[in-house]
Amino acid sequence: MCTFLENKLLEAKKKEKNKDMAIKVQLMRLKNKATGAKTIPSTNRVYFNVYHPKKQPEKTMAVFVSNQWTVGRAIDAIAQELHLQNNNNKK
């Protein structure tokens, strides 16, 4: 017969396990939907959920970039992938 405390501990373990599983499933879906340069090896990819707050704030787009790129290059690649106008490198 389990005590109240033992029941609470079992419930907490189950919730933690479910949370970990949910995070893994979310990452798996992100990797499956992501678009980007196919020349980037899968070991060098960094995945992002990107959303456009003015057009569709509830819809996200999954993209990936190389972990060896600079932030500027990653922004350029994401903008190109999502067909967004990017003027951050023009004066």
Over 60: is that where the pLDDT of 90 sits? Answer: yes
Over 90: is that where the pLDDT of 43 sits? Answer: yes
Query: Looking at per-residue confidence, does 19 or 78 come out higher?
Result: 78
Over 60: is that where the pLDDT of 1 sits? Answer: no
pLDDT band at 91 (very low <50, low <70, confident <90, very high): low
Per-residue pLDDT tens for 50-81? 887 777 667 788 999 999 999 999 999 998 88
- pLDDT given for residue 16 in this prediction: 74
The DSSP line for 1-24 is ---HHHHHHHHHHHHHHHHHHHHH
